[in-house]
Structure 1
Amino acid sequence: MTDRPVPPPFMWACRRCADLLIDIATATALSTEHDLYDGTVRCQLMLAGHLAAHHLDAIPEPHTDCPRCDFYAKQPDRQHFESLWAEHRARDLFLPAEVARLM
């Protein structure tokens, strides 16, 4: 994996964000030791969910070159994809784009 972006200061100021960032680092280290360990993805999803729920105003705007953002943008409000879309965009704050846009 390429270098991860440096998370913005608000994430380090938020205790839950900071804890989840540390969990991701720990999970990533564990995944190099155990082939079947999948905790890294779980930690990424937990942090993206926290960001969407508690820091929505800090989440980046939709990607202009992203099929997933295009899909979410075309969904009717009744589908309730807003939080999933926010989680997708939030991943840019702590993961490289090639990894962040996988989900």
Structure 2
Amino acid sequence: MSEFLDFLRHKFAYVAIAEFKPGKFEEAKHLYEKAVSTYAEGFKGAYLLQKPGTDEGIAVIFWDNVGDMEANQNEAYQAILNEMTPLFAKAPNTDFYELVSEIHPVEE
């Protein structure tokens, strides 16, 4: 029964689309990984995507709910974000999405 209830509960994703100053993506990646490592309750995984040959990227962080994301924005997270801010070419576009479909490959 709990598997069925887990299936009914949707995850949420925080998505940030950003462009960094030339040559700063690698430093931003390191800080992103450091920030994500501070997450605990409700954190379900994270991805960082980079457009090849550019300093543009997309961060996707999955949560059980919006409250868990907000609860994980502690002092350590904020300090890392403050380190990352000067690396942006312009402010990132951010939004929050509900995961409404999740498809996995069929295992043989």
Q: TM-score, normalised by structure 2?
A: 0.29
Q: TM-score, normalised by structure 1?
A: 0.30
Please tell me whether Structure 1 or Structure 2 has the larger radius of gyration of its CA atoms: 2
Larger RCO: Structure 1 or Structure 2 (Cα < 8 Å, ≥ 6 residues apart)?
2
